Each structure stands twice: as structure tokens, then as C-alpha cells.
Amino acid sequence: MADPARTSRLTSTRKLLSNLWLGHVDSIEAALWRFYDRHPLASDCHVVFFEIAADEKLHVNVTHRRLTKAIAGWAGPADTPVGFVHNRTFGATAAPKLVRHVREMVFAGLG
């Protein structure tokens, strides 16, 4: 059951070109939803997982409606009409480490 006091939403989108990162993205999303159930977000947040042709890295954009604190390793923020976007790419990184990095950005406090 949703928390009636919760005011910020978490959403995600996948734009994967292959199955290379599918298991990692499954793990990240599952962990984000578990964490979201217990912790409030500072701002509405949308996460996009994507690949670029001829690039074997996982690209992750995290867009917050409101400006959040900077998190080491993430580029940005870019100020866009839909919010503040941070971006990061991941190469050969273990799923637990990926989960931690993305979770830190998604649940960053307000800046």
C-alpha cells in the first residue's frame, strides 16, 4: 500500500539495445523500489537506462524535478525543462556496486 504522505514519485525507463545489461538493470530497479518503500525522495525522480550503438557501456540518466546535491562520479546537473539531469556511464561493474551508485544519485538530498 502506498504511503499517503509520500509526495515524490520514482519512475524508470529502459532503452536498451541488447541484453548485455538486462540483469544489472533488473537488479538496480528492484533495489530502488525496495529502498523507495522505506525512504522518501527529495524530489520527483526519473531514471533512464540506455545503451548507445557501438558502445558497450550502460548509460544512466537520473532526472530530479528539483536540484539535488552533487554525487561524486556523476556528470551534471544539466538544467532542462523537465528537471535537473545527472549522467553516468558504467563499464564492467558488479551489480551491487551499480546499485549503490545509482541509489546514491536517486536518493540524493536537496542541494
Report all structural domains of the chain as residue ranges with CATH numbers, in order of start: 10-106 (3.30.160)
pLDDT at 44: 93
* pTM confidence score: 0.90
pLDDT at 4: 40
Of 19, 52, 46, 20, give the one whose Cα is nearest residue 32. Answer: 46
pLDDT at 24: 94
* pLDDT single digits (tens) 50-79: 999 989 999 999 999 999 999 999 999 999
Q: Look at strands 45-52 and 10-15 and give their pairing.
A: parallel
Whether residue 2 is predicted with pLDDT greater than 60 in this model: the reply is no
